[in-house]
Structure 1
Amino acid sequence: MDYGEILKRKAGALWSRGEKPYEYRPYGTWAFVLSSFAFCLILIVWFGVSLFFGVSNGAFFADGGAPARAFKETLDQKRLGETTGRYKARALMLEKRKQSPFWVEDPSW
């Protein structure tokens, strides 16, 4: 008998000592899967609720105020102001035309 065989036997004896045959338990597996799913769901709900209340209370902003506006929001505000100004001017002109239709020029021509 060579030393390789002896080492294999000794190593095999270390790992197989007191070994019982494996028994598959389907209910245990399902319990593990469902409890893992429930734990993940609890974490997701917890994170979502904390995120919602953190944003609604202003906790994500260091100074407690409103966040800095992005360039697109600023541009949209500018365009909204210009459009509102045009509508106000048009409304004033139409008001004048109602009062004296012969003296105010029609801008649609």
Structure 2
Amino acid sequence: MKPSSTSPLTNESIQEVSKIFKMISDPTRLSILFLLQKEELSVGAIAQSLGMEQSAISHQLKTLKSSRLVKSKRAGKNMIYGLDDLHIFSILEQVLTHIEEQEQEK
């Protein structure tokens, strides 16, 4: 899904881009991604860090995993979650830079 700058975007490409933005538009999912950028964590550790129930975190992790933004591995009885793709942080860094520029202009 890497369209060149000379070819028009397909409807499928636009739908995929939209899906990624929907994934990162949720504050809880965004918080999870930032936590996992620092280190791999269990559901319990994520829930504790965010002050949320494990069931709510599990639901969000399932959503992130289905979008291939998060991956999991078994460590004993626990599942450990980490980022599946660091590219998402290029987008997030651009957004944060944009916000900082807007704040400086105020």
**TM-score (structure 2 length as normaliser):** 0.22
Structure with greater strand share of residues: 2
Structure with greater helix share of residues: 1
**TM-score (structure 1 length as normaliser):** 0.22
